[in-house]
Structure formats: C-alpha cells, structure tokens
Structure 1
Amino acid sequence: MTSSSKTRETVNELLAGSVGGAAQVLVGQPLDTIKTRAQIAPTLRWIEGMFKGPMDILSQTLRKEGFFALYKGMASPLIGIAGVNSLLFAAYGVSKRIVSPFPQLSLTETALAGSMAGAANAVLASPVEMFKVRMQGQYGSPTDQRLSAVFLDMWRTWGLRKGVMRGYWVTVVREIPAYAGLVSPLFYTAFEFTKRRFQATHGTQLPVWALLSSGACGGIAYWLACYPLDVVKSRVQLRATPPSGTPVQYIAHELREIVREGGVRGLFRGLSPSLIRSIPAAASTFAAFELTRGMTRSLVKFFSNVLLFRVLEGDDGCMNALICARIS
C-alpha cells in the first residue's frame, strides 16, 4: 500500500468513525443515563437510597424530570464523540498496521492492536465522559448548570489535570483490557471473531444484520471486561474534589469504598442497562462505521473512474487531478 493510499484509508476511517460515534450517542444515551445514575447514586449523600434499581431510575426520571432528561449530558459526547471515535478507529487501524504488515490479523494480534487503540482513545474519552457524568448527576434542581458552565467551573477551579482530565488514569486502565481481550475474546477481538464467523458462511460482503450482531457481541464483551472500573471512573469524576494519591491508590480506595457500601454487587451497579444498551449502541456504531467506510471507498473509486474517463477524452484538468489523486 502506497503512502497516499494509507492516508486516504486513515481519513476514511476518521469519517466513518465520526458517523459511527454519532449513531452510538443517539441510540444509547437514554440507557447510558440510567446506567450512570445507578453508578453514582451512592456518592450523592443527599439522595442516597432514592433509587431502588434501574427501572425505578427510569420511572422517577420520567415522572420528575420528563422524557428529555434521559438525554441529559448528551451534548458532551455528541460534540466529542466524533473526535473520540475517529481517534479510536484511526488508532485501531494504525495499530493493526504496526502490529502486522498483513491485513488479516490473528486474534492475539487483534487484541494487541485493540489495547493500543484503547490507550490512545482515553486522551479524549476521559474529558468527554467526565462532563457527561457531571451533567447526568444533576436532577432537575434550580442550581443545575449548563455544559458550558460545568466546563468553566472545572477549568477555573481545578485546571486541566485535576479538573478537565479528572479520571484519566481510570479511563486508561478501563480501556486497555476492554479493548484488548488478551485472555478472552473482548470488544475488537469479539467483533472480529464474530465477523469472521459470519464471513465464513456469507462471504466477505456481510449483510447489515451480521454487522449489527458482530458489533453487539463486541459491546457486551467490552462491558463484561471493565465494568467495575467504569463504576470507579463515574464516582471519581462526579465528586466535588479530585482524588488524592497516585492513580493506583485512589482506584484501590474507591474499589474498597464501593464494596463497603454495597458489597461486591456494588461493583456491578447499573450493569443491566449497560448490557442492554451495548446491543443497539455498539451494533449501530459498527454498522454505521462499516457502511460509511464502504460507501466512501465506493465514492472514491467512482470519482477516480470519472476522472479517468475524462482524461481519456483529453481533459488536461482531470489529468492533473487524477495524477494528484494517484501520486504516492
């Protein structure tokens, strides 16, 4: 593959990742709000015990705040998800090329590439999720803030490292095993494993339902791998003050606090809406990504053929354009 071809492929992955990310947010936000509120309720002392479970969270949210409260905090991921998923998919594409020069990676190589992509993804995913969590932790009181006010408050009070990037290292620790799957087929490994199973039966051009199923398997595996760390991340990001100590110390401390408050079950508070959400959210993400990438590749090929046809007719401008497009 020439350098220009690699550049076009990376740009293609960035665009497809943006479309996939937008689809994920729009489809999965209501269940994500329920999940986050289940995770953080014990940290909000003034409402401790107000929720009896995910269905009660849904019921009370609809009754007290209305339907659109389920989309509270959506602005942050919707603004940032294009960058987050673009970085994720692009990093995964680059990581695959670093891990192996061959297009078909083994599951172990896929896991390694996934872990590299997950670590890179945390740079943008952490602040996006931090602002989302802080918006979802507002329950319709007169003192609730808009996203811009939350951002300015965190920036002015705590700065970049302890404010905007709060929870970064928890996000890194969460992303690497979740996207890797070195021990068992998780996220990328699960997605690739499922997709290859379908390809063995249906060929390389998979139907949409197969892409949806592959993406859903990846999403479920992701949450099963990292959920306790996601609970830690949400609690750390919601607190009024930043955590103290090293990342290892405050992650261990938060895990102990969760177990002390709710037992081992507390580590999986909100898991059921996460698993339910992962099916439509991950499926729509991967389906939108794969379909967009295929569409852009087809468009590039189509316009290249149009330019070639014009060149054969003697159009010097199209000749120059075609040379620029093909140059390596």
Structure 2
Amino acid sequence: MSTEEKPLPFIYQFMAGAMAGISEVLIMYPLDVVKTRMQLQVGIGAQAEYKGVIDCFSKMIKREGFGSLYRGIVPPILMEAPKRATKFAANDEWGKFYRKQFGTEKMTQSLSILTGATAGATESLVVVPFELIKIRLQDKNSKYKNARDVLKNTIKGEGIVSLYNGLEATMWRQSIWNAGYFGVIFQVKSLLPKPTNQSEKTRNDLISGFVGGTVGTMLNTPFDVIKSRIQSTPRIPGTPPKYNWALPSLVKVFSEGSFRAMYKGFVPKVLRLGPGGGIMLVVYNTTMNFFRGIYYKKEKPARKNEN
C-alpha cells in the first residue's frame, strides 16, 4: 500500500476535513447568501424580485451594503469545521466499514455511492441547528440581529427541539449530495490519466471534485429549496407549518411554481459547490498527505547481522 493510500486515525481525518471546509466557505460564501435569497422568494419569472445571480448581487449591495453578502457567516464558520470534518471523516470510516462487510479491500463505484450517502446522513445530525440559524439570518426579512439572537429567540419561542426543524429534509439533501459527490469523484478519477506527480494529483482532485460538486448539486437542489423554506419559518404553536415533511413539501413547491420552482437558487448554488467541491477535495487530500508524512515516518533499514 502506497503512502498516499495508508489510513490515518480519525483525528487526522477530522482536522483535514475541518481545514477543507473552512477554506471553501471563506472563498465561496457570498454565493450561498444569494442562493438562499433566491430560494426563499415565492414568485418566479417576472414576479420574482431577483432576476438572476448578478441582479441579486447588485440589489443586495445597493440596498443593504457589501457586508450583506457575508450576513450570517458566523454560523457557517462555526459549522464548517465539524460539518466538513464529519463529511470526510465519516466517508472514510464508513468506507472502511463497508469494505469489511463486503469483504473487499478496494472501493468500488457502488460502495462510493453508498458510503457517500451514509456519510451525508451522519453529517446531517451535526449541521441542522447551524443551518437553521444561518437560513434565518440570510432571509431578506430577517428580524434577528446576530446568530446569538436567533438561537435565543428560537429556543424561547419554539423550544430547543425546534433547532432540529428540517432534519429530515437535511438528511435527504446531504445524503443525495454526498452520494453524487463521492460517487462521481470515484468515477472521474478512474477516467483521468494516472498522476505521476503532485501537480497532476492536484489537477485530478480539482477536476473530479468540481464535477462531483456539480452533479451532487444537480441532484439535491430540490431538497435544499424545501429545507430552506422549512427552516426559515418559525413554528407557531397550534398552527400547522406550511412546509414540514420533505416529500409533501416538494409536491407543494411544484404546485406553486412548476418544476422550475424546485430549482430556485440553482445557479449560485452550483457556482459555489462546483468549484467549492474541487477546493475541498484538494485541501483535504493535501492536508491528509501532510499528516501522513508526519504519522508514517520512514522506517530505518534493519541492521545486517554482523555475526
């Protein structure tokens, strides 16, 4: 087994995933804000306030200032370390588990998809409260001052369990995205020329991560739309929420605006998670290789028996 393939303890996977996630969010966050704004508007076409990505960027900066593009960034920064760390570490650990269960040493296409989906479900348990706070801050009509204000008022008005509103939709979203992301990465890497140096490895990571992020986004956007709507609306005791469970909410969104409504915010989302997927994979693999260089020290050659 080559040095690049040798496994590392969970803590190293966790740290590498954290660094990958924070790098991605610092670079790509404004597109996430634009995506949420476009997902939360009800009208489509001429009735929509934001006509596209550029129009949304322009109106936000003009009306709310440049800082609005980074509104709600604190929860993602706090979330990215455990979120991305859980994503990559869970993917590695579930991969080990499935390979052992199926009696194979190497990952296959189907195992990559299964492992990614399971890792996504695991990741959901970590991200839901952070996502809820972020969505409520990014909303144009947000009444909250900061993340702490969202947390305090949500718990006070809806109870602490409400922090997990949208868990089911988030599991759908994360499982589908991760299955597409890691499954496509496996396939694309198998089609690319085998790298012979670090530069070529980085190139393959960027290409496969970009394609994986793009495909994952194409697959999971409808569930991201309904997750945003479920989490943006406070729960009022005695009043049934407009959006609740994932599949019925999908039907409702479709009935309100056709298939197009289910892909609101797709352009900024794919512009973020396509390149972002490449950035994450490069940072993760580079960091893991750095850790391997520390963890697996070269063994000194055994001394020959002088007798």
TM-score (norm 1): 0.80
Asked if the contact 2:8–2:292 (Cα under 8 Å) also holds between the matched residues in 1, the reply is no
- Check if 1:35 corresponds to 2:29: no
Q: Secondary structure at the match of 1:100?
A: helix
Pick closer, same or farther for the CA change 1:187–1:204 going to 2, 3 Å: farther
Q: Using the alignment, how far apart are the partners of 2:220 and 2:50 within structure 1?
A: 24
Matched residue, 1:262: 257
Asked whether the equivalents of residues 37 and 140 of structure 2 are also in contact (C-alpha less than 8 Å), the reply is no
- Distance across 2 between alignment mates of 1:12 and 1:197: 29
Q: Which residue of 2 aligns with 1:90?
A: 89
Distance 1:204 1:121 in 2: 32
Superposed CA offset, 1:100-147 (max 9, x none): 1344211011111111111111101222211111111145x8x54111
Q: Distance in 1 between matches of 2:172 and 2:296?
A: 40
Asked if 2 retains the 8 angstrom alpha-carbon contact of 1:215 and 1:283, the reply is: yes
- Specify the alignment match of 2:24 in structure 1: 24
Structure 1 segment 225-244 matched on structure 2, within 5 A: 225-241=219-235, 244=240
Q: What amino acid is aligned across from residue 270 of structure 2 in structure 1? A: L
Quote the Cα distance in structure 2 between the aligned partners of 1:262 and 1:94: 41
- Which 5+ residue runs of structure 2 have no aligned equivalent? none
Asked if 1:123 is matched to 2:138, the reply is: no
- Partner secondary structure for residue 105 of structure 1: coil
> Per the alignment, in what secondary structure is the counterpart of residue 87 of structure 1?
helix
- Name 1:281's counterpart in structure 2: 276
Q: Tell me, yes or no, if the aligned pair for 2:18 and 2:84 is still in contact at 8 Å.
A: yes
Give CA-to-partner distance per residue, 1:194-214, whole Å, 9 cap, x none.
Answer: 22323x432485432221111
Asked if the contact 2:19–2:284 (Cα under 8 Å) also holds between the matched residues in 1, the reply is: yes
The separation in 2 between residues aligned to 1:96 and 1:148, in whole angstroms, is 37
**1:299 has 2:298 as partner:** no
Residue aligning to 1:216: 210
* Paired residue total: 288
SS at match of 1:83: helix
Matches within 5 A, 1:1-328: 8-42=8-42, 49-101=48-100, 102-138=104-140, 143-161=143-161, 163-180=162-179, 186-198=180-192, 200-203=193-196, 206-241=200-235, 244=240, 250-302=245-297
Q: Matched residues in 1 for 2:53 and 2:263: separation? A: 12
SS state at 2:231 partner: helix
| 1: CA distance, partners of 2:227 / 2:234 | 14
Deviations 1:16-72 (A, max 9, x none): 1000010111122111111110001229xxxx8432332221110111112221111
Q: Which runs of 5+ in 1 are unaligned?
A: 181-185, 313-328
**What amino acid is the match of 1:296?**
F
Say if 1:13 and 1:86, in contact at 8 Å, map to a contact too: yes
The 3 A distance-change label for structure 1 pair 119 and 72 is same
Quote how far apart the aligned CAs of 1:82 are: 0.6
Higher helix share: 1
CA contact (8 A) 1:27 1:280 kept: no
Contact residue 23 and residue 281 of structure 1 kept, 8 A: no
Instruction: Measure, in 1, the Cα distance between the counterparts of 2:65 and 2:92.
Output: 41
- TM-score (structure 2 length as normaliser): 0.85
> Structure 2: which amino acid aligns with 1:147?
A
User: Does structure 1 conserve the Cα–Cα contact (< 8 Å) formed by 2:254 and 2:261?
Assistant: yes
> What amino acid does structure 2 have at the position aligned with 1:130?
L
Deviates more, 1:152-161 or 1:14-23: 152-161
3-state SS, counterpart of residue 145 of structure 2: coil
Q: Secondary structure at the match of 1:236?
A: helix
Q: 1:7 to 1:210 in 2, by over 3 A?
A: closer
Deviation per CA, 1:165-214: give whole Å up to 9, x if none.
1111111122223322xxxxx2101112122323x432485432221111
CA distance in 1, matches of 2:88, 2:247: 30
Residues in 1 aligned to 2:201 and 2:178: alpha-carbon distance in whole angstroms = 24
**1:114 alignment partner, SS class:** helix
- Distance of 1:134 and 1:273 partners within structure 2: 18
Distance 1:218 1:145 in 2: 36
